[in-house]
Structure 1
Amino acid sequence: MDGTVFRSEDLPPAERFEAWQALMSQTHAPMRLTSNHAGDYQAHLRLITLGEVSMWPATYQQLVFLRTPKLIRQSDPEYCHISLVVRGGATASWRRNEATYGTYDIFTNDSSVPYEIATSDETITSIGIEVPKTQLGLPWGRAQQVLGRPISGRSGIGALLAQFVTQVTTDPTPYTTADAYRLGAVLSDLVTAVLANVTDAEPHLQPETRHRTLVLGVKAFIKRNLHDPELTPTAIAAAHYISGSHLHRLFRTEGTTVASYIRHQRLRGARHDLADRALAATPVHVIAARWGFKDHATFTRAFRAAYGTTPTDYRHEADVSAVSVG
């Protein structure tokens, strides 16, 4: 799934900026770059390919990206580009418009439109997303209404997109080719949903996109509220303005039930904490309560059924294993 990895320190200082510019032009579209640090440029990038969609988490020094009409005529891959600013800031200019972006803002642009993006003087970390326009489940004419407008990655659908790309880019799990295509489809749906939300075009989304985005939103809500012992299907359905029967149908299409999904996520979290030596002094019943289990007996039964041992024995085995490895 992972492709190019760029580390500026792997090259002589005099070659770094030229190599970085070539990589940026291949990753997104031909661009002209300038920087106050071009003589010894510092940058890291990892390209993650998900079928026709790609992501590139990167950390780099101050930079000005310039895409001109001449460069567009030279080559236009017809991409919708999304950037999540993880750290730092930038100012974008296009068609006499200008917008400023800060941490956890989402920026959108079009490879067919001239623009200039100037990052702040501090080192910036961002996650770039390249989606072919044909992959979006929304007419491009409508999606264009969003271009350049800052979108919050801290709430709503924007937060869901931010959480997804952050998790995929930091998860060391070796995904298979089939996983990559599925993740690419999910990412296309999320980008489409973000654009539709900003343009009030959600009623026009394809049913499959609306379904998958709703499932992701419900799962994210559940994970944020696992600590709440009153997290019930009724409460989840109400938070998403859907009926209980609709909620249960969503999870049936995922091959599970709402209750099973909640229990599995809580047990995963509790098992992680039980194996954490930093929490060795925390009583088992306290960990169980933190993950939303109403009583110790219920937690113990569920843990034994899932993992074939009691929470106390699992903690002891994990501690013994850690000591022997150490």
Structure 2
Amino acid sequence: MTSTTPADKTQPMRWLRLPDLLVAVVRGVGQVDFMASPWTGLIFLVALFVGGWRYGLYGLLGSAVATLTADALGAARDRVALGLEGFSGTLIGVAFALYFGVSWTTTLLVILGCVAGSVITSALVTLLKPFNLPTFTAPFCIVTSATLLAAPAFERIKQGKIGPALPSAATGRTALTWNDVWQGMFNGIGQVFFQNKWYVGLIFLVGLVVGSRVAAVAAVLSSLVGMGIAWVLGAPAADIAAGLYGYNAVLTGMALAGIFVALTPPGGLYAFLGALAATGLTAALTTFFTPFGGHTLTWPFVLVTWAFLAAVPAYALIRRAG
């Protein structure tokens, strides 16, 4: 029998050190918008706290729980360090604060949801690896959709369920005012984090500029694309101004404009088409989920971007970034 002690002593540390974990938690907030910069993560946290202390607190809690869970279970250190294990937890925390308010029940749901989201993230990383596709926010969508659907079966959850209003039916004013346009553009960026105050969206945009100017430009243009196609097709002005038709376009546009697809003239057109598709799917999934009391979340972004990335090898003029 040979001892394994010498080999164990020479192995690198399996878990991140506390300072690195703290940075990873902050990066997890920034990675919601694909930004690995801790400064972007800090600015995003400021934006969440400006939107409401509960969003900042639960968003930070979500990133921390998801990151710590992944690190404790031995997830790849580079993924943990870059915040890739924390961003779905951030969104779970913010979403639950919005849908269920502040209570011990919500705190428990965030913790359990982020632990489950961490496991789902690792499962999707494994399943999608052969196709070279990221998980995106699919773990957040799965956990949050399941929780919203399950809420009516549990009295303590049902009592606390407040949730935001669903997008209205295609009735009412459709003409856009100038205020609708400029506020809606910022709201489209903020609604990625469920924030509908234009100045909160502006802070998020500042964070994007710090992380990547290209991503910031893509976010602005994609938000306008989402608003534009929604207006052309006759969506209610109130929903457009609230950013409800912009945020999935924002995420899709950023993903396809330089982050996962090379930013060339054909690549820019590809990102534009992706933003259009995400806006259309937003309307379709909103209609689908409405009878169940569910919400669209970022499903349109996930499904459209998966499809567009999977199609890249078939196009000679489109290539993956990196």
TM-score range with shorter-chain normalisation? under 0.3
More strand by share: 1
Please report the TM-score for the alignment, with normalisation by the length of structure 2.
0.27
Please report the TM-score for the alignment, with normalisation by the length of structure 1.
0.27
